[in-house]
């Protein structure tokens, strides 16, 4: 039995949802994002991509490239709703579905040929069912291993399908640019260029040990990919993997007091989300984007897991304190990852939990008041009057 992995990628997902819900936007250059000059494009329809507009581009640049661009605000709640529908479609075909993001997933297709026919027919059925249920198109890639399936789904977008058969892998990889391999970024590309590497075939001109000596474990993995080897299976998704909040400012700032106040607001949002869904996380991550759009992240893993606003805020502030600010900041955010369910066993070496329990109960009480009377019903002393003095950034 041949092993198959499929990668399903929804086409221009956020923008396509907007065009689905508003027929007047169909066929027009639509982008999801804020309307102010401080905003960036979150998603771009294929109509606006034809002008060179892409996600993460500033709105100012996007307007220069496409004066007729139609900017619409994002609706994450709606996108998540459609995402759940899309994942439900995939689960109709296989019990082994791994959601990689809100708009893409891997599916173990091994054995599906017995139920639905050849792998080409499996792909066609998935695409047809996706349109039937969600009203949206997707692109499908199928290959013997995971990373090749992801590459394949990008070969014939939008609304395409690309099947990389087992006996085609060697020839396909021989001319495949190394930048197509997931995880190969700019820094690694520069190193590979210095060694005369442009394609996966170039990697194989030198033995695995050569790349291991120069790139460590990444060198071995890179050589494996050039050989078409990827041991990573499709793992059934077990829920969210992280929770975060971020804001882009109307005006760049270097004021650490202001930055800490926004970290507190974000820590409240993240903590409330974690508690609402019953998660605790071990890793806190700070994200900072500067005025020149350069971005840095800093993370710290805790000895235990937390859903407490105060802990998230404290760690985020410590990470910020350790970070130099060579330029003004345009965006800041905080996230928590490395989850486990809230229910767990206390170890013998854990510190006395009394103060943590008190803080957790306080968080729960604040959550309950805000659920009943609205988000502004309770305000921390540190934030009193803050939003009245400063324009609130865009999410």
Q: Is residue 155 domain-shared with residue 30, that is, in the same domain?
A: yes
Residue 297 lies in a domain: yes
Measured CA distances, 122 to 126, 142, 309, 340 (Å): 6, 10, 46, 35
Between 338 and 363, where is the model more confident?
338
Q: Are strands 97-101 and 138-143 parallel, antiparallel or unpaired?
A: unpaired
Nearest to 51 by CA among 30, 37, 76: 30
pLDDT tens digits, 6-28:
999 999 999 999 999 999 999 99
- Angle among Cα 72, 77, 79 to the nearest 5 degrees reads 65
Q: Is residue 155 domain-shared with residue 178, that is, in the same domain?
A: no
Residue 183 lies in a domain: yes
Q: Is residue 95 domain-shared with residue 33, that is, in the same domain?
A: yes
Residue 226 confidence (pLDDT): 96
pLDDT over 90, % of the chain: 64
Q: Is residue 222 domain-shared with residue 158, that is, in the same domain?
A: no
Between 349 and 28, where is the model more confident?
28
- Angle among Cα 283, 289, 293 to the nearest 5 degrees reads 145
Residue 36 confidence (pLDDT): 80
What length is written for the chain? 395
pLDDT tens digits, 219-241:
999 999 999 999 999 988 666 67
Residue 368 confidence (pLDDT): 67
- Angle among Cα 211, 175, 212 to the nearest 5 degrees reads 5
- Angle among Cα 155, 157, 158 to the nearest 5 degrees reads 170
* CATH number for 384: 3.30.1490.100
CB atoms within 10 A of CB 232: 11
User: How is residue 323 written in tokens?
Assistant: 């970070």
34-48, 182-196, 380-394: the lowest-pLDDT one: 380-394
Is 132 a catalytic site residue? no
Residue ranges making up the domain that contains 259? 242-389
Residue 231 lies in a domain: no
Q: Is residue 215 domain-shared with residue 309, that is, in the same domain?
A: no
Residue 55 lies in a domain: yes
CA 162 to chain centroid, in Å, comes to 24
Q: Is the peptide bond before 118 cis (omega within 30 degrees of 0)?
A: no
Q: Is residue 150 domain-shared with residue 177, that is, in the same domain?
A: no
Residue 236 lies in a domain: no
User: How is residue 115 written in tokens?
Assistant: 């139920």
Residue 394 lies in a domain: no
* DSSP SS3 for 193: helix
Q: Is residue 76 domain-shared with residue 91, that is, in the same domain?
A: yes
Q: Is residue 183 domain-shared with residue 300, that is, in the same domain?
A: no
Angle (deg, nearest 10), helices 13-21 and 76-91: 100
Residue 186 confidence (pLDDT): 85
Contact predicate 74/111, CB 8 Å: no
Rounded Cα distance between 5 and 233, Å, is: 9
Residue 35 confidence (pLDDT): 77
Whether pLDDT at 330 is above 50? yes
* CATH number for 43: 3.30.70.270
Residue 331 confidence (pLDDT): 93
CA quadruple 86, 90, 95, 100: dihedral sign? negative
Contact predicate 74/32, CB 8 Å: yes
Q: Is 207 left (phi over 0), alpha (psi -120 to 50) or beta?
A: beta
* CATH number for 189: 1.10.150.20
Q: Is residue 196 domain-shared with residue 284, that is, in the same domain?
A: no
Sheet containing strand 70-72, edge to edge, reads 41-44, 30-33, 70-72
Secondary structure letter of residue 347 according to DSSP: P
Rounded Cα distance between 395 and 393, Å, is: 6
Which residues on neighbouring strands pair with residue 287, listed in sequence order? Answer: 297, 333
Whether pLDDT at 155 is above 70? yes
User: How is residue 299 written in tokens?
Assistant: 């993370």
Which residue matches tokens 């499908």? 140
Whether pLDDT at 341 is above 50? no
CB atoms within 10 A of CB 68: 10
Residue 260 confidence (pLDDT): 93
pLDDT tens digits, 80-108:
999 999 999 999 999 899 998 899 999 99
Domain closes at, from 141, 163, 185: 163
pLDDT tens digits, 18-72:
999 999 999 999 999 887 877 889 899 999 999 999 988 999 999 999 999 999 9
Q: Is residue 295 domain-shared with residue 211, that is, in the same domain?
A: no
Contact predicate 311/264, CB 8 Å: no
Start-end of H helices in 50-180:
59-65, 76-91, 113-116, 119-134, 146-153, 169-174
Q: Is residue 349 domain-shared with residue 295, that is, in the same domain?
A: yes
Contact predicate 144/166, CB 8 Å: yes
Confidence of residue 302 (pLDDT cuts 50, 70, 90): confident
Average pLDDT over residues 358-372: 62
Domain closes at, from 163, 194, 214: 163
Split into its structural domains, the chain has a count of 3
CA quadruple 134, 18, 392, 372: dihedral sign? negative
Contact predicate 117/94, CB 8 Å: no
Residue 386 confidence (pLDDT): 55
CA 58 to chain centroid, in Å, comes to 19
User: How is residue 85 written in tokens?
Assistant: 């529908």
Residue 91 lies in a domain: yes
Residue 52 confidence (pLDDT): 97
Whether pLDDT at 153 is above 50? yes
Catalytic-role residue among 104, 268, 308, 394: 104
Q: Is residue 198 domain-shared with residue 284, that is, in the same domain?
A: no
pLDDT over 70, % of the chain: 85
Domain closes at, from 163, 197, 216: 163
Residue 274 lies in a domain: yes
143-157, 186-200, 333-347: the lowest-pLDDT one: 333-347
């Amino acid at each position: 039995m041949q092993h198959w992995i499929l990668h399903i990628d929804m086409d221009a997902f956020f923008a396509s949802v907007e065009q689905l819900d508003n027929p007047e936007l169909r066929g027009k250059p639509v982008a999801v994002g804020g309307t102010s000059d401080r905003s960036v494009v979150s998603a771009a329809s294929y109509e606006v991509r034809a002008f060179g507009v892409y996600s993460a581009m500033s709105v100012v640049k996007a307007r220069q490239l496409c004066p007729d661009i139609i900017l619409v605000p994002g609706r994450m709640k709606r996108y998540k709703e459609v995402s759940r529908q899309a994942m439900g479609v995939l689960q109709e075909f296989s019990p082994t579905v791994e959601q990689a993001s809100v708009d893409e997933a891997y599916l173990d297709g091994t054995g599906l040929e017995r139920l639905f026919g050849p792998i080409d027919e499996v792909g066609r059925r998935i695409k047809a069912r996706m349109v039937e249920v969600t009203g949206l198109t997707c692109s499908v890639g199928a290959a013997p291993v995971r990373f090749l399936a992801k590459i394949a789904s990008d070969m014939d977008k939008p609304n395409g399908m690309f099947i990389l058969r087992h006996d085609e892998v060697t020839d396909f990889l021989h001319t495949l640019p190394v930048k197509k391999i997931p995880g190969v970024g700019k820094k690694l590309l520069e190193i590979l260029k210095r060694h005369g590497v442009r394609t996966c075939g170039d990697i194989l001109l030198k033995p695995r040990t050569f790349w291991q000596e120069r790139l460590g474990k990444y060198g071995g993995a890179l050589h494996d990919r050039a050989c078409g080897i990827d041991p990573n299976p499709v793992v059934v998704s077990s829920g969210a993997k992280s929770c975060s909040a971020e804001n882009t400012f109307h005006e760049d700032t270097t004021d650490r007091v202001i930055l800490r106040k926004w970290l507190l607001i974000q820590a409240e949002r993240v903590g409330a989300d974690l508690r609402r869904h019953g998660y605790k996380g071990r890793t806190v991550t700070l994200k900072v984007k500067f005025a020149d759009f350069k971005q840095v992240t800093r993370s710290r893993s805790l000895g235990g897991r937390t859903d407490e606003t105060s802990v998230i805020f404290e760690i985020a502030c410590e990470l910020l304190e350790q970070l130099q600010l060579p330029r003004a900041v345009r965006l800041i955010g905080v996230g928590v990852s490395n989850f486990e369910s809230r229910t767990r066993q206390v170890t013998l070496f854990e510190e006395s939990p009394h103060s943590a329990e008190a803080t957790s109960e306080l968080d729960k009480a604040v959550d309950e008041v805000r659920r009943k009377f609205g988000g502004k019903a309770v305000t921390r002393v540190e934030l009193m009057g803050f939003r009245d003095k400063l324009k609130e950034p865009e999410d």
